[in-house]
Structures are given as structure tokens and as C-alpha cells.
Structure 1
Amino acid sequence: MDAAAAAKRRRAGSLLPEVTSKRGRSSQNSRAKPDNESLHTSSEWDESAQVASKREIALFRNSLKQNVCVRMLQEGNHRSFSELFYLLQAERDRRAAAEPSSALSSELRPLLEEQREKLETVRLHMCEAEQAERTGSWPAMCEHRLFLGQFFSAPEDQLLSLHFFHSCADREQGRSSRPATEARACMAELYLQQGELEEARQQAELCIRQAEDGGWLDLSGRPLRLRARQTLWRIYDQLAVAPMDAANYSEALELLHKGYSMATESDDKQIEGEAAHRLGLAYQRTGDHNTAKKFFNTYMQICVTMNDAGGIGKAYKAMAKSMESEGNMEETIRCLEELVHITRINGLLHNLADACLLLGNIYCTTVRAKHINIYSHYIRALEFFIQGYEVSCETGDVSLQQKAQVLVARARAQSLLGTYGADVVSASPGALRRLLVWKNTRETLGAQSRLHRAES
């Protein structure tokens, strides 16, 4: 049995080719006796493969936050690591303390540590800022922090934006540099947007002082001193709202005058015109119509130079209101007729409808104020009310249409009553015939109405 098995193995082995080539022999020898060089190369390859695998495994197993923080520490940026860790933890604490219905607690909004692009951007620029700080390159450090403040422009990232703006502008070193000055301008705008007016005012005023000394431009090429003045005008305008509503007119006017001064120094005619208009409205509210008209005239002249039809219309409307308050109805009508003309030729349909209704009301007011029977004014008022109604139909403004319908009906009734009264006073043959027709028509309409009620 053993002999047969051995013979079988020999027959099977004879079927395999014998490897006798030089290449084969050398290959066998190399496997049998590897030299030192091949052993050294193989061990290096194995070690590098093992190190790479560890890194890949760490990147796969660890969280994005952990990988970013570890990398910052490995690069020696310990300050940046501490700051980033604080920001991430603060965001988690705010999320935990937020009301369930607030935007911060929404599960749809990811945390910063879960957003790869944002987290990598923060890591890069914070580390660059730390390196610049070590070498005393303060403007470069501020540039990186200014970039991060502007990078977080979304409404939900405003706290991060403010953090980086403050870290750029409030440090002892570099606080008078161009990026630090621009950071103050950005903070003033952001605080204004949040309604923190005093903080916005402080930052804007600091920005103006620093920009005046340095003559800085922002990244878009706009002078920072002008940008800060434009923001400061808006801040003063908002600050004046509360005292104006409380009838504290002296404080409100003082703030508005400061805002107007900033606007005139901003090299922006549109802002200057808006500031003049706001001051005019404030003086109009106090009853000082002469001063109000001066500012309205200033606003109108600026709008004319800028070819701003909407602004010109606002100026005429405000001017007409002051003239009406003074009892100057002829000038009021002239202003409103000019307003109708300007809005019509410029296709400002909503403004045109409003102007027509205003002018119709003025014609009716003129009759009531003077206690005279100028029924042609009622007819004129009816014409403008009808125009206002037709234009409101084009705009699709339902509330304006309903208002115009009421005014048309009232003016038509007043004009008919005026015609009836004039015919009664006249007693001429033509007047008597019109009165008879009116009487017969009224009786017919009354009979139809009674029949309709009886049937119903």
C-alpha cells in the first residue's frame, strides 16, 4: 500500500515542469537568503505603512472636533486650541440653556464642531494669527481675525462674528491698525442690526477717530471714516425714535441734528437727503412748519440732482402736509397736483393712487373749511378719487381699493347734493325739469325697493 502511494506521488510530480532557469534560481536564493538591504527596505516600508494606518484609523474613529484640536496641539498652537475649545463649549452651553422653541435649540441647525468647512477655516486662520502674534506681526494677526469675523456672516453665527471682531480690535497690540479699525466698523453695523444702539454708537465713534488718524480704506476700497459716518447717522436716527414717541422733542431733535451732521460729512447724497427728510418730519411733528419746509426743500433739491422721482414725491407730500397745517390750501393743492404729475410720468402706481386720494381729500376739505358752495370742487375731488380707484385696481392693493371706493361714493353723493341744491335755488325752467326727473326717478326706485322687500 505504501509503495503504491509513493508511485502515485512520483507520477503526479512528473507532470509539473522543473524550474531550472537562472531567474528562478536567483529568486529562490533571494527568498532563502535575503540580504541586509532588502531587509532594511522591507522593515521601513512596513513601519511607514503601520504609521499611516494609525493616522487613518484615528481620523476615522475620532470626531471632527477631536482631530482638529489634536492637530492644533501637534503644531504647537496651544493658545488657538484653548480659544477654539472655549468657543465650542460655549456654543454647547448656549444650546443646552436655550428655550425649546428658540432657534439655538433647533436640531436642524448643526453646531460649529459638526461643520467641517467652518471648523477647518477657524483652525487655519486662528493658527496663522497665533504665528503672526509670536513674531510681532500685529497687522497680520488682526487681518486673520478680521477675516474670521467677516466669514461668520450668517445670522446664527453673529456671536462668533462679534468674538473675532472684538479679538481683532480690542487687543493692546495692533488695535490702531487698518484691520482693527475695519473690525470696529463691522461691529458698529452688527450691533445696530441687533438693536444695541449704545454699543453701536461707541464702536462707530472709535472707528471714526482711528480712521481719521490713519486714513484707512476697507477691503472694498471705501474710506472707513465715511463708512463709519454713514453707520453713525443710522444709529442717531434710531436713537431718536424713543424720545420722539415720548414727545421729548428737544432730545430727539438733538440726536437727529447729530445724525444730519454725520450724513452731510459722509459724501453720500442719498443719506444726506434722507437725514434732511427725517429732520423735516420731526419739526413738522413739533408744529414748526417753517423749519420743516426748509429741510423738505433741501431733500427735494438733493432728489432732483439724483433724479430720484420717489424722493421728489415724498418731499412734495411732506411739504403739502405742512402747508395744509398752516391753512394754505392753494399751495397744498399745487404741491399735490405736482405730486400726481411726477408719480404718473414715472410709473409709480402705488404712489400715484395715494396722491390722487390725497388730492381728492384736499378738494373736499377746502369746501368744508371755507363753508362755501364750491360744488365744482366736489366734482374735481370725484375725478381724483376715481383715478385713485382705477390705479389701485392696477396695483392689486385691496385695502387701497376699498378706501378709494368709499371716497368715490362719498364724493359722488356730495356732488349730486350740490347739483340738487343749486337747482332748488335757481328755480329756472331747466332746473325745475331736472328736479322733476330726479323726483320721478326717486319714486320709481322707492317703489322697486318696497316691492323687493315685500317679495323677500
Structure 2
Amino acid sequence: MAATLPPIKSPSGSKQGYTVPAPKGPPSGKLKPLMKIGKTDREILFKQEVLRQQQPDLSKKQTSSYRNTYKHNLCLDMLQDGYHKSFSELFALIKQQEEERLAQGEESLMWTQTMLKDRHQELDKLKFHLTKAEEAMRKDDHSEVYHNRFELARYFQSTGDKWLSDHFFNTCLETSSSIKGDGGKLRAQGYYNVGAALEDNGQYFEAAEHFENYYKLAVEHKEWIQADGFTYHTDACINLSRIYTTIGQRMEEEDQQNSLEYLKKAHKFATESNDRVLEGQAAYRLGQAYDKIGEGETALEYLNNYLDTCNATKDSDGIGKACDAIAKSYARQGKLEKSIDYLMKFVEVTEQSGEEKGLSKACHNLGNIFNSLGRYEEATEYFSKAYNIARSMGDLESINTNRVQYGISMAHKMLKGLSEHIVMGTRPALERLCEWKDARTDDFKKPFPEPKVEEPPAPSAPKEEPEKPASEKAESSKGEEAS
């Protein structure tokens, strides 16, 4: 083992150690002395220390509740309380929404919306009803499960969250198949709710299938009554009539025959609903469809049915609409006189009701028919009415249309007189044509002014010859004597 060396001694005899050299030069001014704490600050610090000691120590769970998100803590509570199915459904909904948001991209409207995981009120609502539904499921109480899910569907429907409301309406329908003892009433409600949701999404054929199932259950239990007093059967007929009308109108341009079949179904269910107004409207649409495919007689049958309904319900607007449709149908069949009769009735009804738009339309249609028949005086009269009414309404499109038609009818009206004046070729006729080119006024029916009879000039007295000078008289007398 090596021996320990003795310490090195300095020349002065003391042990050599490490000493910090003193700073050189003046102080830099960067270092500041510690701030002196006054009495007031000491009292504040003392009070803070006392309050800190009075606060209880947080547990691990309490600490995590502050550190984690609201959604995370809510899911933990559901799991700790044993609601595993509720947690799974909520977690799946949140995940599905996030996936859809990512799929739509940053430019989509969904990207700017608040996600479900950040909406605390909705999360609390979901937790409450999902856990209640899970408890009811454990007790095999499917009716309570249905009602809790239905509450969630209605809640999200009221907030405008269609995605979640549709989800819970579908789960209500799934749950209703397990409910026994109500005769299928809740199942009928489920079919209606899902059908209405599909209709709002534009899935009309799928909606019609659900409304058909709703109808099948309702027709077997005509005693079922809704809160508004209508039976389930009537409500099912109304919904089927509406959805088949929508389908028929959408197929009108592509396939008129199939469109007609759907409109027939709509009319059938409207009649079955015992709603006179709905039946009349369905008859009107069906009549127009028949008229478009050339079956005028069948069209008139349904259109007259609609007119009778409007007369019974004293619907002046409907009467005018029915008269207009019937007039058009007669016009297509070449029965113009009957068409004029119904248009005259259309004018009368709209004048009584004060419905200016309908009156303008009626006058316009009458003007067209009279113009086609060569009855230009009447055509001009009705086009003038239509034009003036359009001006009073400020309807620019109608103003332009009726202005042109009024001008055409005026031209037709003047054409005969113009042609007659050209054929005459007399001076007065040509003078009137020149005046017409300047003023464009219809004066062709005015009689020509009678020609002025020129009086013969009065006979003038014989002129006296001026006396000749004396020299001329002498010369003339000499000439006479010489002769």
C-alpha cells in the first residue's frame, strides 16, 4: 500500500488550499440584493400557508379528475359503476363521429362543429339514459329500454343533431321487437319514426317500406289513438299518401307511367284517410298526370272531383286552380269553348277573392285562347288586364310576358285594317297609313272623311278694252277706207 504523502507547505509555513480570487474592477450592476419583505407581505405569506395547511390532501382519483378530460372521467365512472354496455356504445359513437369527420376532411362543415366528446351536457344526457336503459335490460324490462332510448332520440332531434337522433330511433325500432303485451303499438311507433327520419334524408323508397309496415300494424288496430286525436290508421294513410306523392312527382320526368302508378297509390291512401282536402289534392295531381299522358277524359274525372271538393270546403284558391286545370285539359282536347267557360269562372272567382296573381294568370290564359281563335278584340282586352295587374304586383317576369302578348294581340287586331288600307290604294288610305307609321294608333276602323266638292267658278264680266290713242284711231280708219 502506498504511503500518504505529506501536505505541501507554503513558504510561510501554512497548508496550501484553494482560495476564490476577489473580483476585479467595479461591480457590474447586474446582481441585485435580495428584496426585503415587509410586514404586509409577511402577513399575506402567512395566511397563504395557513390556508394551504387547511386544504385536505387530494386522492389519486381526485387528482386524475383534474388532469383527465371530461369524457375520460365520465367513461371511467360508467366502467367503475359496472355499465360496460353503455360505455361501449358511447365510446363507439364518439369514435364513429371522429372517423366520419376525418373522412370528410378539413374543408367540410363537420370539421368546424363541436364534437360529441367536447359537449358536456350531451355526454351527461347520454350517460343518464344509457345507464338507465342498461339497468332496465338487466331486469328484462324492454319497454323501459325503449322509453329511455326514445327520450334520447327526441332530445337530439330537438337540438338538431340528426345523426344521433336517427341512431336512437333505429335502436328504438330494434328494441320494440322484444316488447310484448302492447300488441305491437311501440313497434308501429318505431316504424313511423325511422320512416320519417329516412324521408328527411331523401331515402324515399326505404321510408315507404317503413310506412307500409306502420300501416300494416295500424290497420289491424284501428282503435289506437294518438295524442292529437287521430288514429294510427289515419296517420299511416296520410304518411303513405305523402311519400308516394313525393316519389311520383320525382319520377315524373323520367318515367311517366311509374309516376302515375305511385300517384294512384297516393290517391288511394288519401281516400282511405277520410281527409276530404287530402283526397282532393291527390285527385288534382292524378288528374294532371293523366292529362300529360293524353288521357283527357280520365283527367277531367279527377279534376272535377277536386273542383267538387273545393266547392264543398269553400276553398276559393282551390276552385281557381281546378278551373284553370280543367280549362287547359279541354283546350288540349280542342274544346276551346268549354275551356273559355272554365277560365271565365276562374276570372270570376279570383276577382271575388282578390287573389291578384291568379287573376293575372286567368286573364293571360283567356287572352291566349282568344288570340288563337282570331278574336283579337277580346284577346287584347284580357292581355291588357293581365299586364296592368302584373304592373300593380311588381312581378317583372309577368310584366314582360304580358307586355309582349299584349303587343302581339294589338298587332293582330290592326292587321286586318292595315291590309284593307293597303289594298284600297286610295289617297286617303295611303295618308292614313302614313299617319299610322308615325303614331301607331289604330284608326283603321274610322270612316274616311268625305271628299270636298269643288264649286264651279262664277262667270266673270267681259273686260272693257282700253281706248286707243287718237293717232291709232286715225290710222285704223284710213286702213278701213283703203280696204
Query: Normalising by structure 1, what TM-score?
Result: 0.76
SS in 2 for 1:240: helix
Q: Matches of 1:193 and 1:438 in 2, distance apart?
A: 68
TM-aligned CA distance change 1:98 to 1:330, over 3 Å: same
* Structure 1 equivalent of residue 178 of structure 2: 173
1:149 correspondence with 2:153: yes
Unaligned runs of 5+ in 2: 1-53, 441-483
Gaps of 5+ in 1: 1-45, 368-376, 447-456
- The within-5 A match list for 1:395-406 is 395-406=393-404
- Conserved 8 A contact 1:143-1:179: no
The worse-fitting range, judged by mean Cα deviation, of 304-313 and 283-292 is 304-313
Residue 75 of structure 2 aligns with an amino acid whose one-letter code is C
1:253 alignment partner, one of 257, 260, 269: 260
1:270 pairs with 2:297: no
2:239 — aligned with what?
A: 231
On the 8 A contact 1:132/1:138 being kept in 2, the answer is yes
Q: Find 2:301's aligned residue among 294, 299, 307.
A: 294
Equivalent pair of 2:191/2:211 in contact (CA under 8 Å): yes
Equivalent residue, structure 1, for 2:36: none
The CA distance in 1 between the partners of 2:421 and 2:344, in whole Å, is 31
Corresponding residue number in structure 2 for 1:97:
103
Deviation per CA, 1:105-155: give whole Å up to 9, x if none: 3x1x21222223333222222222222222232222212222222322279
Which residue does the alignment assign to 1:307?
A: 314
Q: Is the 8 A contact 2:270 2:282 kept in 1?
A: yes
Kindly provide the CA deviation profile for residues 153-173 of structure 1, in whole angstroms up to 9, marking residues without a partner as x.
279632222211111112341
Q: Is the 8 A contact 1:165 1:184 kept in 2?
A: no
Q: Tell me by how many angstroms 1:322 deviates.
A: 0.8
Give the match for residue 72 of structure 1: 78
Is contact 1:142–1:180 with CA below 8 Å preserved after alignment? no
Tell me the distance in 2 between the aligned counterparts of 1:309 and 1:57.
Answer: 73
| Match status 1:201 vs 2:201 | no
- The one-letter code sitting in structure 1 at the alignment partner of 2:406 is V
CA distance in 1, matches of 2:86, 2:184: 22
Q: Given the alignment of the two structures, is residue 339 of structure 1 paired with residue 346 of structure 2, yes or no?
A: yes
**Is the 1:229–1:262 contact (alpha carbons within 8 Å) kept by the matching residues of 2?**
yes
Output the CA distance in 1 between the equivalents of 2:435 and 2:165.
Answer: 76
Q: CA deviation at 1:410?
A: 1.0
**Contact 1:187 1:203 survives alignment (8 Å):** yes
Match of residue 161, structure 1, among 136, 158, 165: 165
Cα distance in structure 1, aligned partners of 2:274 and 2:126: 36
Q: Read off the aligned partner of 1:235 and give its amino acid letter.
A: I
Q: Secondary structure at the match of 2:179?
A: coil
Return the structure number with greater relative CO, CA threshold 8 A, min gap 6. Answer: 1
Question: Structure 1 residue 247: deviation in Å?
Answer: 4.3
Moved more, 391-400 or 171-180: 171-180
Distance 1:71 1:212, change over 3 A: farther
1:407 maps to which residue?
405
- Residue pair 1:146, 1:180 contacting (<8 A) in 2 also: no
Deviates more, 1:139-148 or 1:89-98: 139-148
Please say if 1:124 is aligned against 2:128. Answer: yes
Q: Distance in 2 between matches of 1:100 and 1:366?
A: 63
For the residues of structure 2 that align with 1:423 and 1:121, how far apart are their CA atoms? 89
Deviation string for 1:218-253 (max 9, x for gaps)? 45444333222212112222333455423452x333
CA distance in 2, matches of 1:61, 1:262: 60
* 1:63 and 2:69 matched: yes
Equivalent position to 2:355, from 332, 348, 351: 348
The offset of 1:50, in angstroms, is: 5.2
Percent identity, aligned pairs only, is 29
What's the counterpart of residue 432 of structure 2?
438
Task: Answer yes or no: is the 8 Å Cα contact 1:182–1:218 preserved in 2.
Answer: no
- Which amino acid in the other structure matches residue 254 of structure 1? E
- Quick one: structure 1 residues 183 and 360, their matched pair in 2 at CA, closer, same or farther if it must change by over 3 Å? same
> Which SS does the other structure have where 2:110 is aligned?
coil
Partner residue, 1:40: none
Cα 1:159/1:337, change in 2 over 3 Å: same
Matched, 1:85 2:91: yes
Post-superposition Cα deviations, 1:80-115, rounded to whole Å, max 9, x if no partner, equal 22111111111111010014443323x1x2122222
The Cα shift of 1:197 comes to: 1.8
After superposition, where does 1:306-325 map in structure 2 within 5 Å?
306-325=313-332
Contact 1:339 1:355 in 2 (8 A): yes
Q: Which moved more, 1:158-167 or 1:215-224?
A: 215-224
Cα distance in 2 for partners of 1:320, 1:424 equals 39
Deviates more, 1:346-355 or 1:66-75: 66-75
CA–CA separation in structure 1 for the residues paired with 2:427 and 2:351: 41
Give 3-state SS (helix, strand or coil) of 1:170's partner.
helix
Per-residue displacement from partner, 1:400-443 (whole Å, max 9, x unpaired)? 11111111111111112234456779x8xxxx898466324146
Which TM-score applies when normalising by structure 2? Answer: 0.72
Distance 1:390 1:438, change over 3 A: same
Aligned-partner Cα distance in 1 for 2:428–2:321: 45
Residue 184 of structure 1: aligned partner = 191
Instruction: Tell whether the 8 Å contact from 2:418 to 2:433 is kept in structure 1 after alignment.
Output: no
Higher percent of residues as helix: 1
